[in-house]
């Protein structure tokens, strides 16, 4: 992304957590680390904390997304908590409405429902999730409409009522890594989150389409965009690059079909790879911000200026839990400094 001279909007930070299972640690450690991170993000003033849905992946512990949302919301006080997202092809809309309606009753005005149209897993696992129900991405618009209906106030003689769920009007977001969800979010008047943390190349086109075609709704009067931002921060660029090697290893595993648990960092990992592997990782992480406080500040400013995003969803895969929190500290300070300068 090339920078320009436009003024950037105020930078709002949030977190998207894949709940990585770290090598040498049990699944429980991943869950406890997620809660600890959410509590820290809350103290830093982050807007929301989202959990992603993935299945049949040994290195990711976020398959039961609604359960995790309840766990995080129950362990925090103010920060919004939600799904980033529920993969709607895997679930009947009624089940989603009841789960998130229950969460909304337990944690009023704090729950978000982000929706994706990909299965978030392989086809075999998708069939195991839905049994004999054949669902495709083409059904997504109808499922979104059904879910909106179920979360709206129940109408007289309504045949199927989500209980809990009806009347909670849980704020819905559409998530995507292509142009389809951008267009649908605009048509429905819903906030839109682009998955630039793994598919950054179409982010500007998707945001442009969403903003140009946005139609106001009862939920949202004007377009609202969040983007995924891989972020690793440390006192020096060299340390940040070293810590980010855990992310580089994870990405290489995705690209080569060799997924696993989040590995500890390795010195000079990128330099040890062939040029094609380096290029693949660089393309995957084109929206990443990795470095010292000065580098992070410059990277966040560039992203904010180029995308004009309303919110950044940070994805932070630092192996060491304490250093992960330090990384968020650096990002929060950088955002605060940028906002102070922008307000002058």
DSSP result, 274-289: -HHHHHHHHHHTTT-E
Burial (0-12, 13-18, 19+ Cβ within 10 Å), 284: buried
In this structure, of 59-68, 84-93, 267-276, the range with the lowest mean pLDDT score is: 84-93
- How far is it, in rounded angstroms, from Cα 13 to Cα 33? 19
**Residue 195, both tokens:** 């998955």
Contacts of 218 (CB under 8 A, 6+ apart): 189
Per-residue pLDDT of 151-171, as tens digits, reads: 999 999 999 999 999 999 999
CA 101 to chain centre: 21
Q: Which domains does the chain have, with CATH numbers?
A: 13-343 (3.20.20.30)
Q: What is the pLDDT of residue 4?
A: 47
Please name the residue ranges forming H helices in the chain: 27-43, 65-74, 93-106, 123-130, 140-151, 180-188, 203-213, 237-256, 275-284, 293-307, 321-343
DSSP bridge partners of 81: 49, 111
- 172 forms beta bridges with 113
Can you give the pTM of this predicted structure? 0.93
Taking 80 as the threshold, does the pLDDT of residue 119 lie above it?
Answer: no
Determine the Cα–Cα distance for residues 153 and 195; give it in Å rounded to an integer.
31
How confident is the model over 166-180, as a mean pLDDT?
95
Question: Is residue 157 classed as helix, strand or coil in its secondary structure?
Answer: coil
Residue 60, classed as helix, strand or coil, is: strand
Instruction: Note the pLDDT tens digit of each residue in 88-103.
Output: 988 999 999 999 999 9
Q: Kindly tell me if the per-residue pLDDT of 66 is higher than 90.
A: yes
Contact 14, 313 (CB under 8 A): yes
The answer on pLDDT for 83 being more than 90 is yes
108 CB contacts (<8 Å, ≥6 apart)? Answer: none
Per-residue DSSP letter, 260: -
Q: Name the average pLDDT for the chain.
A: 93
CB 46 within 8 Å of CB 79? yes
CA distance 205 to 148: 27
Residue 10 carries which DSSP code?
P
* Exposure of 73 in the CB half-sphere (CA atoms within 13 A): 24
Q: Which of helix, strand or coil describes residue 87?
A: strand
Residue 2 has pLDDT above 60, yes or no: no
């Amino acid at each position: 992304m090339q920078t320009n001279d436009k003024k950037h909007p105020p930078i709002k930070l949030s977190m998207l957590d894949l709940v990585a299972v770290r090598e040498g640690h049990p699944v429980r450690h991943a869950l406890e680390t997620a809660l600890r991170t959410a509590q820290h993000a809350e103290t830093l003033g982050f807007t929301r904390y989202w959990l992603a849905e993935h299945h049949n992946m040994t290195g990711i512990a976020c398959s039961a997304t609604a359960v995790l949302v309840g766990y995080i919301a129950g362990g925090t006080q103010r920060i919004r908590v939600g799904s980033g997202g529920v993969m709607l092809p895997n679930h009947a809309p009624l089940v989603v409405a009841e789960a998130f309606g229950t969460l909304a009753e337990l944690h009023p005005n704090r729950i978000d429902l982000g929706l994706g149209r990909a299965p978030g897993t392989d086809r075999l696992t998708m069939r195991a999730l839905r049994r004999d129900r054949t669902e495709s991405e083409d059904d997504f618009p109808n499922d979104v409409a059904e879910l909106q209906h179920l979360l709206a106030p129940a109408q007289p003689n309504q045949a199927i009522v989500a209980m809990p769920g009806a009347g909670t009007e849980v704020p819905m977001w559409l998530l995507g890594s292509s142009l389809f969800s951008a267009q649908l979010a605009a048509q429905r008047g819903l906030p839109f989150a682009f998955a630039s943390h793994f598919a950054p190349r179409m982010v500007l086109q998707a945001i442009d389409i969403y903003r140009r075609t946005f139609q106001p709704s009862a939920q949202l009067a004007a377009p609202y965009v969040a983007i995924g931002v891989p972020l690793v921060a440390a006192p020096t660029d060299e340390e940040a690059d070293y810590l980010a090697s855990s992310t580089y290893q994870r990405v290489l595993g995705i690209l080569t079909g060799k997924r696993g648990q989040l590995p500890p960092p390795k010195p000079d990992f990128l330099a040890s790879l062939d040029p094609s592997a380096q290029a693949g990782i660089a393309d995957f992480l084109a929206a990443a911000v990795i470095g010292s406080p000065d580098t992070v500040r410059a990277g966040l400013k560039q992203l904010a200026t180029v995308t004009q995003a309303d919110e950044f969803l940070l994805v932070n895969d630092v192996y060491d839990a304490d250093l992960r929190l330090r990384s968020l500290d650096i990002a929060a300070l950088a955002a605060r400094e940028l906002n102070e300068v922008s307000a002058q």
